[in-house]
A and B are shown apart, each in its own frame.
Chain A
Amino acid sequence: MSVVSVENLTKRYGTVVGIEDVSLSVEEGEVYCLVGPNGSGKTTLLNILLDFVRPTDGDVTVCGHDATTDSLAVREHVGVVPEGYGVYDRLSGRQHVAFAIDAKGADDEPIDVLDRVDLVDVADQWAGEYSKGMAKRLILGTALVGDPDLLVFDEPFSGLDPTAFAQLLDIIEEERDRGTTVFLSTHLFGPVEHVGDSVGILLDGELVTERDVDRFRESEESLESLFLMFAGEDGESREPDETDRGTEVVA
């Protein structure tokens, strides 16, 4: 069963195209990575999933619920690390987590959640005193509250120090092993090759190709070379091809 189903999705901001006619699906239990440069439409796509942004055209279903008309039901199943991850300056880390627990009607203990993201020592400090990386880990912690079926992470690796980076990879693997589906966006290739199951490349608002990440583990081909083939080394993108996920790459 598809946890996320996106069909012919288009979003225009006035005359500016956010994403154009994107279709994809994320299957239960997989880690799907959306890769693309800044401004390629990754955030727009994830924001439509969460109803932060309303689509111009197309259909999006998340965990069996329409993302636009039934967003509350969607968000009962989802844990989110949004692109901008603001925290409340005058609430403590513990209070942030407690708020997420209350909002989700979950029964986690705040301190256990903070332990997973290594923030126990600063649990009662105001989040306004946290570094950027700590704030991001806090938001990551709140996303894990209530054992969601789907994790939506927008650029989760940016702003993390190497330790937190490795911890996040571990958390994603743990969550996948528990059967959680992960849909994340990133402009980095390393984490995709490490934890990804599927990857979709988004360029100028169009999904140009999808692949099983296993292919890169088995062959000499790297995600980077695939990406550059589509993006062009000069950054000029070529016409998208019709390749579906898992089909051969014609180099």
Chain B
Amino acid sequence: MSSLLVARKDFMDSVRSSILTALLGVFILALLVIALGYLIVVPRRSMASMLVYVTTLVKWLVPITALLAGYSAIVGERDGNTITFLLGLPITRGDVLAGKVLGRSAAVLLPITVAFLGIALITIVAYPTFLPLALLTLFGASALLAVVFVSVSVAISALTDSPVRAASATVAVFIACMFLWDLLPSAAYFLVNGTALGSQDAPAWFWFLMRLNPLEAFLALLASVMPTMATRVPADGPIYLSVWATLGIFLAWISIPLGAGYLRFDTDDLT
């Protein structure tokens, strides 16, 4: 498979990139320092409350790392003229795109895995009741979140022919997911009902619109196994608020941007 070949090359190339290595080092350090720090500052809390604390950090660090890891994946090769080396070989543009997603995902998943192994060690030693399911879910959800943001950023890198534009679009995606998304369901509620959402319970579709944000979907996955995760969503909601639907949202965030990126990159002139 040529895509695996591209992935391997890309992984080797990106783990040697000093910027990315530094970033990933920061990622591992930050998670471990936060976990240890939490333990020292509030030693008597439960493991569940520590995981909630770790989650707030993961929610920031994973998207930033994944977006930075991916945004130049293809546009950088076009800018540096290496794309013609790749595509002069019997490798399709689809192979390049798939290989980039795999390679960059691996480059991000490696430090995430290391960090979580560290957290597992800390929690096993520090807490009398170890919560393997909660920790595994947090790890799995973090990995999924990483793959989502790698896919989005690699898709951006396939959709544009200028590194500056790719960087701007990546920042825009981050700001949209991190800060602006919450406005969307509220605006939709206002349009439907003519009044702003007050103290009454929001309808289920309101929560669904919220959850379309990968960061909310991430929290929803955690809430399904960690009762201490504060969640405003009713547990017995409709099917589109189920865990499976949430996994579907992740899948859509991976496939739709990459599909668009592929269609564009596959037909674009490499000039």
Contacts and interface: CB of A to CB of B under 8 A. Distances in A.
Contacts, number: 83
B271 A53 contact: yes
Given A53-B269, A91-B12, A82 B90 contact: no
A177 to B, nearest CB: 23
Interface string B62-83: 0000000000000001001111
Contacts of A90: 12-13, 16-17
Interface residues of B, number: 24
Given A52-B87, A86-B84, A90-B16, A72 B271 contact: no
A47 B82 contact: no
Given A75-B88, A90-B17, 18 more contacts: A47-B271, A50-B88, A51-B87, A53-B270, A72-B90, A72-B92, A78-B88, A79-B88, A80-B84, A82-B81, A88-B9, A91-B12, A100-B89, A103-B90, A104-B89, A139-B85, A143-B88, A152-B88
Interface of A: 13, 47, 50-54, 71-72, 75-76, 78-80, 82-88, 90-91, 95-96, 99-100, 102-105, 139, 142-143, 152
Interface of B: 2, 5, 9, 12-13, 16-17, 77, 80-85, 87-92, 267, 269-271
30 contacts: A47-B271, A50-B84, A50-B88, A52-B271, A53-B270, A53-B271, A54-B269, A75-B87, A80-B84, A80-B88, A82-B81, A82-B85, A82-B88, A84-B84, A85-B84, A86-B77, A87-B85, A88-B9, A88-B13, A90-B16, A91-B13, A95-B9, A96-B85, A99-B5, A99-B89, A103-B89, A104-B89, A142-B85, A142-B89, A143-B88
